Amino acid sequence: MIRIALTVLLFAGCSKTDAKPKTPPPAPVTAGKVGADGLRHVPVEANKEGYTPDKIAGKPGEKLVLVFTRTADSECISQVKVGSAAPVDLPLNKPTDVAITVPQSGQVDFACGMDMFHGVVVAQPAS
């Protein structure tokens, strides 16, 4: 009897669901604040789960400053690579500015130094 109950629990825990998790929409074009430099500064937290937000919308050609703050003591997220630029060190609990220009169309990817966590800056044409 116990063996049957354990088998049922084992298969119940391994059941596959067809529901796909919903991906959140990009952070809106209005996310962040315009700084004294006239550029929009968007805060991005780097933690053990990845980046928050991991999708950032921008106007085509807009110059942004992504302000990365690493809040977890993890080697994986101690650096960020944005597009084809060299990796940037992210000191623990210290905001680090990374300038980026939103492409005319498509997106620019960013990833941790180990390429395990990813995010994107997405061009959102005016509607």
CATH number at residue 54: 2.60.40.420
DSSP the chain: -HHHHHHHHHHHHT----PPPPPPPPBPTT-SEE-TTSSEEEEEEEETTEEESSEEEE-TT-EEEEEEEE-S--STTSEEEETTSPPEE--BT--EEEEEE--SSSEEEEEETTS-SEEEEEE----
pLDDT band per the 50, 70, 90 thresholds, residue 35: confident
Q: Does residue 8 fall inside a structural domain?
A: no
In a domain, 10, yes or no: no
Q: What is the pLDDT of residues 60-77, one digit of tens each?
A: 999 999 999 999 999 989
Q: Is the pLDDT of residue 4 over 70?
A: no
Higher pLDDT: 95 or 18? It is 95
Q: Is residue 34 part of a domain?
A: yes
Residue 37 lies in a domain: yes
Q: How confident is the model at residue 28 (pLDDT cuts 50, 70, 90)?
A: low
Instruction: Give the pLDDT of residue 9.
Output: 41
Give the count of domains, the chain.
1
Give exposure, 34-50, as e/b (b: 16+ Cβ within 10 Å): eeeeebbbbbbbbeeeb
In sequence order, the 6+-apart residues with CB closer than 8 A to the CB of 97 are: 41, 65, 66, 67
* Residue 5 domain flag: no
* Average pLDDT over all residues of the chain: 83
Share of the chain above pLDDT 70, in %: 75
Torsion of CA 48, 86, 27, 105, to 10 degrees: -140
Taking the whole predicted model, whether its pTM rises above 0.85 is answered as: no
Q: What is the pLDDT of residue 18?
A: 45
The answer to whether residue 14 is domain-embedded is no
Residue owning tokens 């825990």: 13
Report yes or no on 6 lying in a domain. Answer: no
pLDDT surpassing 90 at residue 118? yes
Interior CA angle at 105 toward 77 and 98, to 5°?
Answer: 30
In a domain? residue 13: no
Domain of 38 in residue numbering reads as 24-123
* 16-27 confidence digits (pLDDT tens): 444 444 555 666
